[in-house]
Structure 1
């Protein structure tokens, strides 16, 4: 079996105290983001979702929220998110998760 392939995965991770506040000043990879969040309430309750959407607006980037993502999502969940991105004309993905703090 021949398994030749090329893989290009341009992923940028911003991590650390204060990085969220830099998002609106960065050159983002597109004009519309698929914003992935879990079905939990933490990003809403702790204000992270509002902060991210404000930063996207500051950067002039539109977004669509997909809120059914969970740890190790099934193929069906991934395909639903992909369909949401396609239906809404999203050209990049921004994911929120884990325990967020200021």
Structure 2
């Protein structure tokens, strides 16, 4: 199911549902003309899904960097955000990429 989320700055689609991750690489490829993808997950969800999704995207020719951060509210810090964004920049993710 697609849900369009509206904000003051625009809108963006959110896809939810059983098996939604199976089509994620097609969606990402259409939004990453540079072919670079930053996949970010916490330590709870990452071990369950992240590597499978990253590998599926790689098989479609996308260049993927996988970054994880500790699960929980205590990880929502400026320092953690800085580490994640620095990693994306080090990877070379630009405006033509997708997170």
TM-score range (shorter-chain normalised) is 0.5 to 0.7
- Larger CA Rg, structure 1 vs 2: 1
Q: Would you tell me which structure has more helix in proportion to its own residues? A: 2
Match of 2:78 in 1: 75
Root-mean-square deviation (CA, aligned residues, Å) is 2.3
TM-score scaled by length of structure 2:
0.66
Kept in 2: contact 1:66–1:81 (CA 8 A): yes
Higher relative contact order (CA 8 A, sep 6+): 1
Instruction: Please say which of residues 14-23 and 26-35 is displaced more in the overlay.
Output: 26-35
Gaps of 5+ in 2: 1-7
For structure 1, the residue ranges without an aligned partner over 5 or more in a row are: 1-6, 94-102
TM-score, normalized by length of structure 1? 0.64
- Map of 2:4 onto structure 1: none
Aligned length: 84
